[in-house]
Amino acid sequence: MVFVSGPSGVGKSTICRRLACDLPAEFAVSATTRAGKPQDALGKKYLFISEAEFKQRLENNEFLEYANVFGHWYGTLKQPVVESLAAGKMVLLEIDVQGGSQIHRMFPEAVGIFIMPPAEKDLIARLQSRGRDDAAAIQRRVAEAAAEVKAACESGAYRFMVVNQVLVEAIEDIKRFVAAVRQPPNPLRQL
């Protein structure tokens, strides 16, 4: 299991779409109470549900992890992940830092990767170029980014942190890291 987190606008969705194809890995199904967006059809699997249904599924213990992010609930559905892992497939989760901490507690062997922006000005430019948020929302996301970076560093859930300066290089760095941690240790290396 590989889980990827990072602030809004850092490129984690683009990175995860590529990783799902290149590793290869199954994208975990996320349930959310937010409305769908045009870019949602690009790879990550979402189940769009009402807040009442989300809370019912939460009570039924149907989530591996869940969090309220910017006023909407998100959660990774347990059953598809368990089925994929049982079938020997690699599973890829795109989740926030709260979810990363939850997954790390349940699956300490899971590989946590945190995506960082090169600098605050780069993050602001990326958020502005998406054209999805007004100035106040962008400021809120930038402020939250600092808190997310701090939480990721303190959580111990992330084995690898990569700065997304150049997208292709960040993806290649992550692929090399995942390949390295998946390799069984070679006892001859210690001799």
Can you tell me the distance from the alpha carbon of 43 to that of 18, in angstroms, rounded to the nearest whole number? 9
The mean pLDDT of 121-144, rounded to a whole number, is 84
Of 95, 115, 167, 97, nearest in space to 10 by CA: 115
The two tokens of residue 42 are 């690009």
Q: Are 138 and 128 in contact (CB under 8 A)?
A: yes
Q: Please give the residue range of the domain that contains residue 41.
A: 2-178
Is 21 inside a domain boundary? yes
Is 43 inside a domain boundary? yes
Is 66 inside a domain boundary? yes
Of 189, 178, 4, nearest in space to 94 by CA: 4
The mean pLDDT of 92-103, rounded to a whole number, is 94
Is 95 inside a domain boundary? yes
CB atoms within 10 A of CB 117: 24
For 162, phi and psi rounded to 5 degrees?
A: -130, 135
Is 186 inside a domain boundary? no
Q: Comparing 99-103, 143-147, 184-188, which segment has the lowest mean pLDDT?
A: 184-188
* Single-letter code of the amino acid located at 123: L
pLDDT at 43 over 60: no
Q: Are 175 and 20 in contact (CB under 8 A)?
A: no
Burial class (CB in 10 A: 0-12, 13-18, 19+), 51: exposed
Q: Is it true that the peptide bond before 38 is cis, omega within 30 degrees of 0? A: no
Is 190 inside a domain boundary? no
pTM, whole model, 2 decimals?
A: 0.85
Is 36 inside a domain boundary? yes
pLDDT at 139 over 70: yes
The mean pLDDT of 89-116, rounded to a whole number, is 94
For 75, phi and psi rounded to 5 degrees?
A: -155, 150
Strand partners, 160: 113
Total count of domains within the chain = 1
pLDDT at 115 over 90: yes
CATH number at residue 58: 3.40.50.300
Q: Are 115 and 162 in contact (CB under 8 A)?
A: yes
Is 187 inside a domain boundary? no
